[in-house]
Structure 1
Amino acid sequence: MKKNIFLSLLFVFFLAFSAFSQTEEEQVEAVIKSLFDGMRTKNAEQVAAAFSPEAIMQTIAAKPEGNTVASNSATDFAKRIGATPAETQLDERILDYQIKVDGAMASAWTPYRFYLNGNFSHCGVNSFQLVKMADGWKIVYIIDTRRKEPCEE
């Protein structure tokens, strides 16, 4: 019994030490991964937890008459993800993480490919701005591009 308690405490200590030993870049990457994991599982709470309450989302859309920018709140985005029909599969696959950190501010550049119901939909790049708050890194701004080609592999 004492051995089990000791092993349990040792395991908890190891997990806590691992969490604290993550670099700032790894912590930022974990927030972004959590966002897309939440999107895949349609977990609105997990998606919302990645953002600050005032976060802004924008998408650059290429149009024949010129580029336009569409804006959205992260709160509305999380609600829409949670309301996605069960049979709809959303899968944004991040191809690379280029993360820069300066104190409490971080920037991440993440090329991606997006799949809807297992079929390629579009590709582009996300540009995240994050701030380290009392409860950890939070996304305060994201802008992305969307296109059919050319796409990274």
Structure 2
Amino acid sequence: MNKRILICGILSFLVCFSAFSQTDEKEVKAVIQSLFDGMRAKNAEQVAAAFAADAIMQTIIAKPEGNTVGTNSVSDFVKRIGSTPAETQLDERISDYQINVDGAMATAWTPYRFYVNGNFSHCGVNSFQLVKMSEGWKIVYIIDTRRKEPCEE
């Protein structure tokens, strides 16, 4: 009898833990989707809401003499999105989400293809670090790669 109770307790814990993890993964994905939806809509407030106040944005810059890392401020990125001309359409299309969560920390690996006015510009991978704060999941760090090819479909 005690073995059955113990086994039922363990199974209940695993089911509950899995449910919480899936909920966190969905919430992390929703933050990232909201970021890119805001970018497509040129909604600076929506873009800014995805980030923590002191978030860091970086990109790997491929050069013949060796890779370097460039840093952008979130506030500059938000301003650029908000001031994008009406006729310019920016569309970052995520092809996959690989999300891992440990408590209040999450990481997301998202291959993408980027289009400007419907024309392919570049592709790469975003690596997001997120933290669950009092107001929900926020991006605290993002670094990406950018290239013309090869690109995943």
TM-score tier by shorter-chain length is 0.7 to 0.9
Gaps of 5+ in 1: 1-19
Q: TM-score, normalised on structure 2?
A: 0.85
Moved beyond 3 Å, runs of 4+: none
Q: TM-score, normalised on structure 1?
A: 0.85
- In angstroms, what is the RMSD of aligned CA positions? 1.4
Code of the residue aligned with 1:98 in structure 2: it is Q
Tell me the alpha carbon deviations over residues 82-118 of structure 1, each in whole angstroms, 9 at most, x when there is no partner: 0111100000000000000000000000000000110
Deviation at 1:61, TM superposition (A): 1.1
Question: Could you tell me whether the CA contact under 8 Å between 1:127 and 1:143 is conserved in 2?
Answer: yes
Structure-2 residue corresponding to 1:13: none
Aligned counterparts of 2:84 and 2:148: Cα–Cα separation in 1: 23
Tell me the alpha carbon deviations over residues 94-150 of structure 1, each in whole angstroms, 9 at most, x when there is no partner: 000000000000000000000011000000000000000000000000000000000
Deviation at 1:74, TM superposition (A): 1.2
Code of the residue aligned with 2:35 in structure 1: it is L
1:150 maps onto 2:150 in alignment: yes
1:3-152 matches, cutoff 5 A: 23-152=23-152
Other structure's SS at 2:66 match:
coil
Other structure's SS at 1:48 match:
helix
Aligned counterparts of 1:79 and 1:31: Cα–Cα separation in 2: 19
Other structure's SS at 2:81 match:
helix
Gaps of 5+ in 2: 1-19
Aligned counterparts of 2:60 and 2:79: Cα–Cα separation in 1: 21
Aligned counterparts of 1:148 and 1:50: Cα–Cα separation in 2: 27
Deviation at 1:32, TM superposition (A): 0.1
Code of the residue aligned with 1:139 in structure 2: it is I
Aligned residues: 134
Question: Could you tell me whether the CA contact under 8 Å between 1:53 and 1:75 is conserved in 2?
Answer: no
